[in-house]
């Protein structure tokens, strides 16, 4: 497992967390925004008319309505990224990360328009007469680059687990366990069975379920988030101020939060923004390809609404709940995950400005070459759960851990803890203590800071289950379209079985490792898709111009 974690971390350093990645993603979005004359603004009103079916006919080719296609695509994007992903971004980058999520969404509205338009034009029918579409088809049929299409399809299948399966299941199970005390494996077992029953029916059944769940879950979650936000009314304006104030400078240390540089907040905000709205990733075009219409541009306009709803509305509400409640700087009792834990030599305090600055640099994307903060290698004697030596510091979730206890089998541990290069080697020992928290637990704590009290976490859990389950449904369809492209219809059922198994297994894996896997798989899809979109730029402009010419005639 240690080797696997190191490998995923290494790949992430070259892909999703690389310095170039957010610039590339935003750069493509900015290029098309200028190239097409701000379509996310000019086409916004028209897009709502298309969703209502105002400009289409039931006789148009396709498997779903515009609204069902939008709901399916939204079910793929509105997931744990809106609840746990926003919390994870703020935990890593502070308020500034939310600003860069907004920027990613605004530019992503154009990117989504472009990728859906070109993918819809080159859609085909599979062996069963169902619509099949997505970037792999425009890459092969529009660009004559089958090698790129195959690479994308492979990345799509892998990413269906990394983006749509593992993070959703993991966060959902963790949320249910925290709120109701139900073991994660039990949640995974029940929901895996339900998942299997739905995805066997393919896109039509998925679209029907998504169209039923997505509007309801969006409204309910928004109302709950607004209730929490207005419970902390005096902190709304300061929260907004901190988002904009820190956007280009990074977030300063506050409470247990050790601070984040501009580079860190920028990278994590863009990365989590992409995970949330998937603009540029190439997933949504697969759902939109099934829409009944003869006009690719019309469906492209529908997709403009996705980042707006997903990030600019739902993610913003989650962000304001977390920032206005102040929980993002506070430490909570929790069980430490090995992936987020580091033993360092020496005693450090987050009340000492000099030591905070050193820890801040140590936790950067690229630590300084002369980093004074060094990992610990030692044998620590523990009696009744407490370490006997005070000359080390435990860092968990990017914060200085407090009230640390060691347990084995649920009882206080007595014995020796082996630490090598900052990592504990005792597999049978667990660590409890106070530290920052992130992902769904952080959002749940924020929702409790309102008139709802402890009941606030239940609102998060219900929203999480609906969000995550619908996302897993949509991504199962994305993955089976990738499998269909690569191997044909015969491979779809084996894929679905493995997909359901992965959904169950993810309930017992470290949350931070799951997020890291998602970042890697997300980048593997995004990079070839962005290349393809740039090569298709002239055709997109021609299709858009032609659409408006025909529209004005009618």
DSSP string for residues in 422-467: TEE--TT-EEEEEE---HHHHHHHHHHSSTTGGGHHHHHHHHHHHH
Give one word for 412, left, alpha or beta, with left for phi > 0 and alpha for psi -120 to 50.
beta
User: Do 506 and 264 contact (CB within 8 A), yes or no?
Assistant: no
Beta bridge partners of residue 220, listed in sequence order: none
Name the domain boundary from 391, 408, 435.
435
The confidence score (pLDDT) of residue 181 equals: 85
- Write down which residue in 435, 453, 478 finishes a domain: 435
pLDDT at 424: 94
In the sheet that holds 415-420, the strands lie side by side as 386-387, 378-383, 415-420, 423-424
> Using 50, 70 and 90 to split pLDDT, how confident is the model at 314?
confident
* 246-260 average pLDDT score: 88
Sign of the dihedral through C-alpha 287, 292, 295, 298: negative
Taking 90 as the threshold, does the pLDDT of residue 175 lie above it?
no
Q: Given a cut of 80, is residue 213 above it in pLDDT?
A: no
- pLDDT band, very low/low/confident/very high, at 203 (cuts 50, 70, 90): low
Residue 515 confidence (pLDDT): 62
DSSP string, 55-107: T--TTSSSSB-HHHHHHHHHHHHSSHIIIIIHHHHHHHHTHHHHHHHHHHHHH
And the tokens for 331?
Answer: 């430490």
Whether the pLDDT of residue 4 is over 70: the answer is no
Residue 31 lies in a domain: yes
Query: Is 440 within a domain?
Result: no
Task: Judge whether residue 513 has pLDDT over 80.
Answer: no
194 and 272 together in one domain:
yes
Lowest mean pLDDT among 316-325, 412-421, 465-474: 465-474
Q: Give CA separation, 41 vs 45, 203, 537, in Å.
A: 8, 30, 19
Q: What is the pLDDT of residue 80?
A: 67
Based on the domain organization, do 455 and 425 belong to the same domain? no
Which one, of 247, 360, 279, 357, lies nearest residue 522 by Cα?
Answer: 279
| Residues near 14 by beta carbon (within 8 Å), at least 6 away in sequence | none
d(CA 92, CA 105): 19
In a domain? residue 352: yes
pLDDT tens figures, 348-383: 999 999 999 999 999 887 788 889 999 999 999 999
Q: Are residues 364 and 281 in the same domain?
A: no
How far is 514 from 468, CA to CA, in rounded Å?
14
Q: How confident is the model at residue 163 (pLDDT cuts 50, 70, 90)?
A: confident
Minimum mean pLDDT among 419-428, 458-467, 486-495: which range? 458-467
Q: How far is CA 58 from CA 48, 117, 424, in A?
A: 18, 20, 62
CA dihedral of 498, 504, 509, 512, whole degrees rounded to 10: 80
CA pair distance 397, 47, nearest whole angstrom: 42
Number of domains in the chain: 2
Note the residue count of the chain: 554
365 and 217, same domain (yes or no): no
Q: Which runs of consecutive H residues, i.e. helices, occur in 122-165? A: 135-137, 146-162
Domain boundary among 384, 404, 435: 435
Most confident of the ranges 4-18, 29-43, 266-280: 29-43
* Contact (CB, 8 A) for 438 and 85: no
Higher pLDDT, 338 or 124: 124
pLDDT at 295 over 80: yes
**Is residue 258 one of the residues assigned to a domain?**
yes
Q: Are 374 and 459 in the same domain? A: no
Neighbours of 334 (CB within 10 A): 18
Residue 511, pLDDT > 60, answer no
Q: Is 554 helix (H, G, I), strand (E, B) or coil?
A: coil
Q: What is the pLDDT of residue 408?
A: 94
d(CA 149, CA 480): 15
User: Angle between the 236-245 and 95-121 helix axes, to the nearest 10 degrees?
Assistant: 70
Q: Is the pLDDT assigned to residue 384 strictly greater than 90?
A: yes
Residue 360: inside a domain = yes
The CA-to-CA distance between both ends of the chain, in Å, stands at 61
In a domain, 454, yes or no: yes
pLDDT at residue 278, rounded to an integer? 78
pLDDT of residue 107 exceeding 70? yes
DSSP state of 373: -
Same domain, 131 and 240: yes
- Rounded to an integer, the average pLDDT of 409-418 is 94
**Is pLDDT of 1 > 60?**
no
Range 12-17 average pLDDT: 74
Q: Is the pLDDT of residue 189 over 60?
A: yes
Residue 233 lies in a domain: yes
pLDDT at 93: 87
Do 263 and 339 share a domain, yes or no? no
Looking at the fold, whether 308 and 363 belong to one and the same domain comes out as no
Same-domain check for residues 359 and 427: yes
Q: CATH number of the domain that 478 lies in?
A: 1.20.1740.10
**What is the average pLDDT score of the chain?**
87
Domain containing residue 368: 332-435
Average pLDDT over residues 518-532: 86
In a domain, 457, yes or no: yes
CB 272 within 8 A of CB 489: no
Q: Say if residue 370 is in the same domain as residue 519.
A: no
pLDDT at 345 over 90: yes
pTM of the predicted structure, to 2 decimals: 0.84
30 and 178 inside one domain: yes
Same structural domain, 336 and 314 = no
């Amino acid at each position: 497992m240690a080797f696997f974690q190191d490998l995923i971390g290494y790949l992430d350093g070259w892909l999703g967390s690389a310095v170039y990645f957010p610039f590339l993603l935003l750069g493509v979005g900015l290029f098309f925004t200028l190239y097409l004359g701000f379509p996310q603004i000019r086409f916004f009103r028209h897009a709502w008319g298309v969703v209502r079916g105002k400009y289409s006919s039931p006789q148009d080719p396709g498997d779903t309505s515009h609204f069902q296609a939008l709901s399916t695509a939204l079910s793929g994007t509105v997931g744990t990224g809106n609840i746990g992903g926003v919390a994870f971004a703020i935990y890593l980058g502070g308020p500034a990360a939310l600003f860069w999520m907004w920027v990613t969404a605004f530019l992503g509205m154009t990117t989504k328009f472009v990728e859906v338009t070109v993918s819809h034009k080159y859609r085909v029918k599979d062996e069963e007469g169902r619509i099949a579409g997505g970037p792999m088809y425009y890459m092969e049929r529009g660009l004559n680059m089958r090698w790129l299409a195959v690479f994308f399809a492979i990345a799509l299948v892998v990413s269906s687990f990394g983006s749509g399966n593992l993070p959703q299941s993991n966060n959902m199970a963790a949320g249910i366990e925290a709120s109701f005390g139900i073991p994660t494996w039990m949640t995974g077992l029940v929901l895996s069975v339900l998942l299997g029953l739905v995805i066997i029916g393919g896109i039509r059944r998925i679209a029907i379920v998504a169209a039923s769940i997505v509007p309801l879950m969006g409204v309910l979650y928004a109302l709950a988030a607004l209730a929490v936000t207005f419970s902390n009314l005096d902190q709304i304006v300061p929260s907004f101020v901190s988002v904009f104030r820190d956007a280009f400078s990074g977030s300063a240390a506050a409470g247990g939060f050790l601070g984040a540089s501009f580079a860190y907040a920028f990278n994590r905000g863009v990365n989590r923004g992409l995970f949330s709205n998937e603009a540029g990733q190439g997933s949504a075009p697969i759902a939109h390809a099934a829409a009944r219409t003869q006009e690719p541009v019309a469906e492209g306009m529908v997709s403009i609404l996705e980042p707006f709803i997903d990030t600019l509305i739902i993610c913003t509400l989650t962000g304001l709940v977390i920032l206005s409640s102040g929980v993002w700087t506070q430490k909570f009792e929790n069980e430490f995950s090995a992936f987020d834990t580091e033993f360092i030599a020496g005693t450090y305090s987050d009340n000492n400005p000099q030591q905070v600055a050193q820890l801040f640099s140590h936790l950067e994307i690229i630590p300084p070459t002369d980093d004074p903060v060094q990992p610990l290698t030692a044998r620590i004697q523990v009696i009744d759960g407490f370490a006997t030596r005070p000359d080390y510091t435990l860092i968990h979730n990017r914060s200085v851990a407090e009230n640390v206890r060691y347990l084995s089998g649920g009882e206080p541990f007595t014995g020796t803890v082996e630490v090598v290069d900052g990592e504990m080697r005792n597999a049978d020992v667990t660590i409890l203590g106070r530290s920052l928290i992130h992902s769904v637990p952080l959002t749940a704590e924020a929702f409790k800071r309102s008139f709802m009290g402890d009941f606030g976490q239940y609102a998060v859990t219900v929203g999480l289950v609906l969000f995550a389950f619908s996302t897993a449904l949509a991504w199962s369809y994305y993955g089976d379209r990738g499998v269909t492209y690569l191997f044909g219809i015969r491979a779809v059922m084996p894929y679905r079985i493995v997909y359901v198994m992965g959904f169950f297994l993810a309930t017992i894996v470290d949350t931070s490792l799951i997020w890291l896997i998602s970042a890697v798989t997300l980048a593997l899809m995004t990079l070839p898709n962005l290349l393809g979109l740039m090569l298709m730029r002239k055709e997109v402009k021609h299709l858009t111009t032609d659409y408006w010419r025909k529209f004005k005639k009618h």
